Structure 1
Amino acid sequence: MSTESSLFTKFGTIDGFLGPKMSARFLEFALLQENSFAPTRVTTSSEESSSDRSVRRSWHYPGDLGEIGREFRAAISDNLEKCFSLAGLMPIADPIIECDMAAHRDGCFFTRHIDTFTDETRKFSDTDRLLSAVYYFYRQPSGFSGGELAIAPIRGDAAPQLTAPLHDRLVVFPSFTPHAVLPVSIPGDAFSNARFSVNCWIRRARTR
């Protein structure tokens, strides 16, 4: 392994993860819920989350994903061994699957961060995030540009490794991996042209 590659955690992609019918259902669901999406909030060291637009700019669906969410979690469960392997992690028993839906519109981004909780935010949960997965879907052909996932090195200042947000692609990586979402550009900012995603975290209950 080269010195540069050793600076990065393992990550991988599964293309065609859900297939055309289910990805189309996700898009239909998102478009029907346009008025329910709200600005995404960031968890901080206080009990109140915040909408810091200098750190993160995106839209979040706060409701229950219902049947389509259950089907998505089942698909993740069926592929957990592969997902853990792609991320270089050992599978765990009794994983907890957390999911939410996001829309990145014109000018949206997320600066470098990790998905695991820090000492200040860990106290607000009794589980730990181990594996992160992002599923992309959007109208074809794409009405946006940008929005790549930038996997940063765990140390040093090597250039990040970019992964394109291809439709029906799942990207998996360890939750402690530093990463960012590059800015999205959508001329006219139509919601129907957003870069949609289901963000998923595989959690392990914390022993006390």
Structure 2
Amino acid sequence: MTSPPPMRALEQPAPHRLIRGFLGEDMVERLLAHAAARRDDFEVTTIGAEGRVDPNIRVSRVLRDLGPLREELDARFRAVMDEAVATLRLSPFVSTRLELELVAHGDGAFYGRHIDTRTGANDAATERVLTAVHYFHALPKGFDGGELRLHSFRPVDQGGRFVDIEPERDLLLLFPSWAPHEVRPIRCPSGAFMDSRFAINCWFRRARGK
């Protein structure tokens, strides 16, 4: 029997790394408490360098002020960078800074297919290289859906493939920032803010041309 030809690179989903139990239950509860305390400070998420709101492409809410948790989160994310770069076979780089945000996806939220390397003019001196997403939610879980779908560069109708990652509580997902991906629609029957699918988005940035 003849073996099928190997899948071509453009048809493969992007490489990724999963770390379960990444922050531990204490930090997850502290993140939930921070989200609850700052509920009114979450803003509608935007897309593009001009920061426009487009509910046909992205629906969620974001908080960029992580308060007293910022320093500890920064250290925890930095601690896994070198291992992730090696596992994903990325070229080693020096991270100039981490870009962190807390995102809430409630009922009907989603984010269509996109890549993370396109950012605004204020970030012209640096670029995103590695994306990390940490998932957390209250118990009992009040939503379903919300998988992160990692795509191949080739569309499905042209032979491309994808892989869906379930947003498990205290799961860290890492992948190259150039990888096409999307957030699948969320269903949250209660509509309650604290039943949302929460995530910390982290981007490791390097100086352009380095």
**Both structures adopt the same fold (TM-score exceeding 0.5):** yes
For structure 1, list consecutive stretches of 5 or more residues without a partner in the other structure.
Answer: none
- Specify the SS of the correspondent of 2:69: helix
Distance in 2 (alpha carbons) for counterparts of 1:123 and 1:102: 21
State the partner residue of 2:32.
Answer: 27
Q: Contact between 1:96 and 1:205, CA under 8 Å: does it hold in 2?
A: no
Q: Give 1:38 shift.
A: 1.4
- Quote the sequence identity (%): 35
Tell me the amino acid that sits aligned with residue 165 of structure 1. Answer: P
Map 1:13-24 → 2, pairs under 5 A: 13-24=18-29
Map 1:1-208 → 2, pairs under 5 A: 2-3=6-7, 7-44=12-49, 48-62=50-64, 64-117=65-118, 124-157=123-156, 158-207=160-209
Tell me the amino acid that sits aligned with residue 107 of structure 2. Answer: D
Q: Contact between 1:57 and 1:108, CA under 8 Å: does it hold in 2?
A: yes
Distance in 2 (alpha carbons) for counterparts of 1:201 and 1:194: 22
Per-residue deviation, residues 65-87 of structure 1 (Å, max 9, x unmatched): 12211111100111111222333
Q: Give 1:4 shift.
A: 6.0
- Specify the SS of the correspondent of 1:28: helix
Distance in 1 (alpha carbons) for counterparts of 2:86 and 2:101: 23
Distance in 2 (alpha carbons) for counterparts of 1:74 and 1:124: 22
Q: TM-score, normalised by structure 2?
A: 0.89
Q: 1:42 to 1:94 in 2, by over 3 A?
A: closer
Distance in 1 (alpha carbons) for counterparts of 2:7 and 2:60: 35
Distance in 2 (alpha carbons) for counterparts of 1:161 and 1:146: 14
Q: Contact between 2:13 and 2:161, CA under 8 Å: does it hold in 1?
A: no
Larger radius of gyration: 2
Q: Give 1:88 shift.
A: 2.6
Q: Contact between 1:138 and 1:196, CA under 8 Å: does it hold in 2?
A: yes
Q: TM-score, normalised by structure 1?
A: 0.90
Q: Give 1:168 shift.
A: 0.4
Runs of 4+ deviating beyond 3 Å: 121-124
Q: Contact between 1:126 and 1:205, CA under 8 Å: does it hold in 2?
A: yes
Instruction: Give the paired residue count.
Output: 202
CA RMSD of aligned residues (A): 2.0
Q: Give 1:207 shift.
A: 4.3
Distance in 2 (alpha carbons) for counterparts of 1:102 and 1:94: 22
For structure 2, list consecutive stretches of 5 or more residues without a partner in the other structure.
Answer: none
